[in-house]
Amino acid sequence: MGMTKKQAGIFSATLSVFSVVMIGSGFVLNAQNEPIVHTKYTVSVEKKKIAEAQAKTDEIKIKDLEIEINNPISVNIKDYLDDIDKLKETTIKALKLDTSLVNINQAGTYKYTITYGKKKYIGEIKVKEKELPNVTLTLKSIKLKTKESLSSNPRTFIEGEISDEVYNNLTLDISKVDTQNQGDYTYYIIYKGVTYQGKVEVRDPGPTIISPETTTTCPDDAKLDGNTCKCNDDKKEYNKDEKKCIDKEIEKEEATE
């Protein structure tokens, strides 16, 4: 059945309108699909952020360490890593530690390295002196005769006992003491940066008096005064019978009795 010219014209016009509507619908669909494209872009960005976060999570950070002199150094690489819980176990196993430049027997600051593939990380290890005990020293006053030898052992000059650890870290200076000549001299002992000073008294030995009847020799703490010995300490008197210096108070008590 054929169409009349009028029907054909109506059909053509209807088809044109439908096409416009379909094209418009296509634009609408594209517009509606736009959030989907945006969603794909958002997912891509999120994946990138996760990848960056993972890279930071596996970031290698090393420590600067401090040890006491003469103590062994750790060979466990985990002791040198910071934020170790953020590192993969496979990454840790791939690390190489080099502490060959560290001298544990001498105080100072040394470099160590950790290598990961072609990357090298450099840290520091400080070797510090051992902390010594805090002590206060009390020094003796030493009395010598001229030409008598003076000890070089620090313990000779210190009141009381000291530990070997303290003894091994003392410095004794007796360079100002002249034992060949009578006089008063000062000596020094240094410990932990503190200087202590003591006295050395050098005296000529008392003369010996020879007579037909007797020979008089004064003890170390007395000197000859005329025909008798006189004590160096004013609080003491020379006892001829006992041939020594005795405290005056003791002599008075004995005399009273």
Q: What confidence tens digit (pLDDT) does each residue in 231-252 have?
A: 888 888 888 877 888 887 665 5
Which of 201 and 14 is assigned the larger pLDDT? 201
| pLDDT value of position 50 | 52
Q: Identify the bridge partners of residue 134 per DSSP, sorted by sequence position.
A: none
Out of 147-161, 185-199, 218-232, least confident range:
218-232
The reported pLDDT for the residue numbered 2 is 55
The whole-angstrom separation of Cα 114 and Cα 213 is 92
Q: What pLDDT score does 256 carry?
A: 52
How many degrees, rounded to 5, is the angle at CA 100 between CA 99 and CA 104?
80
Q: Which residue has the higher pLDDT, 16 or 186?
A: 186
Distance CA 1, CA 157 (A): 141
pTM above 0.95, yes or no: no
Give the per-residue pLDDT at 208.
54
- State how far Cα 143 lies from the chain centre: 41
Query: What are 61-117's pLDDT values in tens digits?
Result: 999 999 999 999 999 999 999 989 999 999 999 999 999 999 999 999 999 999 999
Q: Which backbone phi and psi does 28 adopt, to 5 degrees? A: -65, -45
DSSP string, 25-58: HHHHHHHHHHHHHHHHHHHHHHHHHHHHHHHHHT
Q: How far apart are CA 194 and CA 125, in angstroms?
A: 29
What pLDDT is stored for residue 63 in this prediction?
A: 93
